[in-house]
Amino acid sequence: MAEIKSGDANGAGNLERPASNFIHNIIDRDLRENRYEGRPVYTRFPPEPNGYLHIGHAKSIYLNFTTAEKYSGKCNLRFDDTNPVKEDTEYVESIKADVRWLGFKWDGLFFASDYFDRMYECALILIKKGRAFVDDLSAEEIRQYRGTLTEPGRESPFRGRSVEENLSLFEGMKEGKYADGEKVLRAKIDMASPNINMRDPVLYRIARAEHHNTGDKWRVYPMYDYAHPIEDAIEGITHSICTLEFEDHRPLYDWVLAELEWPLPPRQIEFARLNLTNTVMSKRSLKELVDNGDVEGWDDPRMPTVAGLRRRGITPEAIRDFCERIGVAKANSTVDIALLEHCVREDLRRRVESRNVVENPVRVVITNYPEGGAETLRLENNGENPSLGTRSARFSGELYIDGDDFMEKPVKKYFRLFPGNEVRLKGAYFIKCEDVVKDSAGNISELRCTYDPATKSGGGNEQRKVKGTIHWVDAKTAMRIKVRKYDYLMLEGESSESALNPDSLREIEAFAESSITDAKPGERYQFFRHGYYMADETTDSEKVFNLIVGLKSSWKKVTV
Ligand code: ATP
Ligand code: MG
């Protein structure tokens, strides 16, 4: 196992400084030394089509594509479809859509299965060189023979087979003469190697399975460690960027290409995979959540999948900003999900309009407002960005305010509405609470208030200041909407079912100002003082809004 140290320079704790990129340093050196004899820098993103992409993949996509861009090079999208059983074309399509949505364009689109013939020929070369042999040991026996970290392995009794015998047995494997697991093709390297990956690793296995691309043409399938370097080399990849768990596999990657005498072989570089708090990140765990019905599907807005983040309302720009800020490191660490939220807020802050939405509504009656009267006010769409203009809102003597904005017995430093106190209604007037009316059960049925006509917002003739500003909606024209509040999927950053957050989805009703009727599915808003929301894209009969991210950050470490 690779030694993994924590606290590397780019670990999650050091986000204030610009992320340095050790991968670019390696590429710079290769270019200086002309290692690739003038060929362009060429990278690839190589997903296995066995699930939907998640934000960890987004990090890898970002890294591969922006690295190619930086060096005016190229980047391929390659489906690593060497395992026929778990792969599916549904995943292929979703992965393509996700990469495009993130804003990247691949130079070549390839499938590892396109190279099965070539890989087979390469295996014949290795057999002829005496570097590969057909083994009859079972998977279990191979494990037993492999040895441990402290003990060398033992050579297979079939290791001494002649080239001719190996060639004919391997052909038999290909032709389907043997059952799954009956034979494998193994590299002949060194059973005493301190690196277990080099102890005669398996190169090919028998699998009588239908492949999504090649159908039943093949009965043998290459193993990842053998296939990957060949795929890279065929495509002219110069820098093969992968995650840290492959560090110990690099000697095998290099061995395969060296034995095949490949000119200018690609260089494998490992970086730390992204882990995020309060969610799970492996496709296998995410698939379990989907299969168990813990979430609605791969694109459930609580999922860390690219499809889920998209449905949540998070933009590709925010995801790219996040990937840039986390940088790349050579040591595993866990990034606080609050950093992602921070990027989402920063992205939406100046670009979306706000709307007044009231939760747990409390009725306000303005006793000195002209009876039955109403007026139209102009409200700013974005206080920080005047170019987003204004909208009209009806104001009258009957309003709703947020339940949180009133306290009958205020706590210390509560500056919102309470009996005897005056606040500003955002974009409207000052109101003062004169009386609290309750029903027979003791619940507040309305707040009787007075307003000061001289304090109309924008009038510039306010005589006094108030400490609190709250928002409101007109009672008569307010729209009832459904609001879905999402919380973290996991209580901790664990993948175990027990860590599932039972309250990751709450649905409430709220009152919105009438202009919310114009919201089209997929449109984003700031619900003033509440958070960022997106009109749900999958329901159109009723107005449903999904929480993208709340307004307040729990993230303290980021300085902006
Ligand atoms: P998972 O374990 O989630 O199934 P994987 O590594 O098996 O992921 P692949 O489809 O093989 O998924 O990955 C495609 C590319 O994305 C690989 O280069 C892989 O290293 C990278 N990748 C996968 N997960 C992460 C992550 N959490 N952070 C960064 N890169 C990742
Ligand atoms: Mg994988």
The answer to whether residue 456 is catalytic is: no
Contact 361, 403 (CB under 8 A): yes
Is the residue at 484 inside a domain?
no
Q: Is 57 in the pocket of ligand 1 (CB under 6 A)?
A: yes
Task: Give the pLDDT confidence of 61-119 residue by residue, as tens digits.
Answer: 999 999 999 999 999 999 999 988 776 788 999 999 999 999 999 999 999 999 999 99
Q: Which of 243, 249, 271, 309 to mutate to test the pocket of ligand 1 (most atoms within 8 A of CB)?
A: 243
Confidence of residue 541 (pLDDT cuts 50, 70, 90): low
Question: What would the mean pLDDT of 411-417 be, rounded to a whole number?
Answer: 94
Same domain, 151 and 209: yes
Same domain, 330 and 190: no
Give every CB contact of residue 85 below 8 A, 6+ residues apart in sequence: 207, 209
For residue 78, the CA-to-ligand 2 centroid distance in Å is: 13
Q: Residue 436 burial (CB < 10 Å; 0-12/13-18/19+)?
A: middle
Which of these is catalytic: 186, 250, 283, 310?
A: 283
Q: Is 306 in the pocket of ligand 1 (CB under 6 A)?
A: no
Is the residue at 15 inside a domain?
no
Average of per-residue pLDDT values in the chain: 91
Beta strand 202-206 pairing with 184-187: antiparallel
Question: What would the mean pLDDT of 373-393 be, rounded to a whole number?
Answer: 96
Is the residue at 557 inside a domain?
no
C-alpha closest to that of 5 among 305, 285, 330, 248: 330
Boundary-marking domain end, from 202, 221, 240? 221
Q: Is 59 in the pocket of ligand 1 (CB under 6 A)?
A: yes
Same domain, 329 and 233: yes
For atom 13 of ligand 1, which residue has the closest CA?
Answer: 47
Task: Give the pLDDT confidence of 456-476 residue by residue, as tens digits.
Answer: 988 776 677 899 999 999 999
Q: Is 44 in the pocket of ligand 1 (CB under 6 A)?
A: no
Same domain, 232 and 334: yes
pLDDT at 202: 98
Question: What would the mean pLDDT of 553-558 be, rounded to a whole number?
Answer: 43
For residue 423, the CA-to-ligand 1 centroid distance in Å is: 52
Boundary-marking domain end, from 201, 221, 241? 221
Question: What would the mean pLDDT of 538-548 be, rounded to a whole number?
Answer: 83
In this structure, what are the phi and psi dihedrals at residue 355, rounded to the nearest 5 degrees? Answer: -135, 150
Q: Is the pLDDT at 492 greater than 90, yes or no?
A: no
* Pairwise pLDDT comparison (558 vs 403), residue with the higher score: 403
Confidence of residue 19 (pLDDT cuts 50, 70, 90): low
CA distance 372 to 546: 35
| CATH number reported for the structural domain that contains residue 143 in this entry | 3.90.800.10
Please report the DSSP string for 127-183 in residue order.
Answer: HHTT-EEEE---HHHHHHHT--SSS-----TTTT--HHHHHHHHHHHHTT-S-TTT-
For residue 58, the CA-to-ligand 2 centroid distance in Å is: 14
Burial 364-378 (b: 16+ CB within 10 A, else e): bbbeebeeeeeeebe
Same domain, 158 and 294: no
For tokens 């193994």, what's the residue?
186
Confidence of residue 6 (pLDDT cuts 50, 70, 90): very low
Burial 43-81 (b: 16+ CB within 10 A, else e): bbbbbbbbbbbbbbbbbbbbbbbbbbeebebbbbbbbbb
For residue 200, the CA-to-ligand 1 centroid distance in Å is: 26
Same domain, 238 and 106: yes
CA distance 221 to 200: 17
Same domain, 65 and 151: no
Question: What would the mean pLDDT of 440-466 be, rounded to a whole number?
Answer: 88
Same domain, 307 and 378: no
CA distance 546 to 308: 12
Q: What distance lies between CA 218 and its chain's CA centroid?
A: 35
Same domain, 101 and 248: yes
Confidence of residue 341 (pLDDT cuts 50, 70, 90): very high
Question: What would the mean pLDDT of 485-491 be, rounded to a whole number?
Answer: 90
Q: Which atom of ligand 1 is nearest to the CA of 275?
A: 27
| CATH number reported for the structural domain that contains residue 263 in this entry | 3.40.50.620
Q: What is the pTM for the complete model shown?
A: 0.90
Question: CA angle, corner 36, sides to 34 and 37, nearest 5?
Answer: 65
Is the residue at 235 inside a domain?
yes
Q: Is the pLDDT at 310 greater than 80, yes or no?
A: yes
Q: Is the pLDDT at 343 greater than 90, yes or no?
A: yes
Here the tokens at position 363 are 């009725």
CA distance 394 to 104: 44
The 3-state DSSP class for residue 94 equals helix
Same domain, 460 and 366: yes
For atom 16 of ligand 1, which residue has the closest CA?
Answer: 57
| CATH number reported for the structural domain that contains residue 397 in this entry | 2.40.240.10
Q: Is 432 in the pocket of ligand 1 (CB under 6 A)?
A: no
Is the residue at 496 inside a domain?
no
Is the residue at 388 inside a domain?
yes
Task: Give the pLDDT confidence of 362-372 residue by residue, as tens digits.
Answer: 999 999 999 99
Which of these is catalytic: 86, 131, 273, 448?
A: 273
Q: Is the pLDDT at 2 greater than 70, yes or no?
A: no
Residues around ion ligand 2, judged by CB within 5 A, are 48
Q: Which atom of ligand 1 is nearest to the CA of 286?
A: 3
Boundary-marking domain end, from 419, 438, 470? 470
Same domain, 107 and 126: no
Count the Cβ atoms, other than its own, within 10 Å of residue 125: 13
Is the residue at 276 inside a domain?
yes
Contact 356, 528 (CB under 8 A): yes
The answer to whether residue 283 is catalytic is: yes
Domain with 194, as residue range(s), is 117-221
The answer to whether residue 48 is catalytic is: yes
List the strands of the sheet with 184-187, edge to edge.
132-135, 184-187, 202-206, 220-222
User: How many separate domains does the chain show?
Assistant: 3
For atom 15 of ligand 1, which residue has the closest CA?
Answer: 47
CA distance 328 to 320: 13
Give every CB contact of residue 458 below 8 A, 6+ residues apart in sequence: 378
Is the residue at 352 inside a domain?
no
Same domain, 337 and 293: yes
For atom 26 of ligand 1, which residue has the closest CA?
Answer: 56
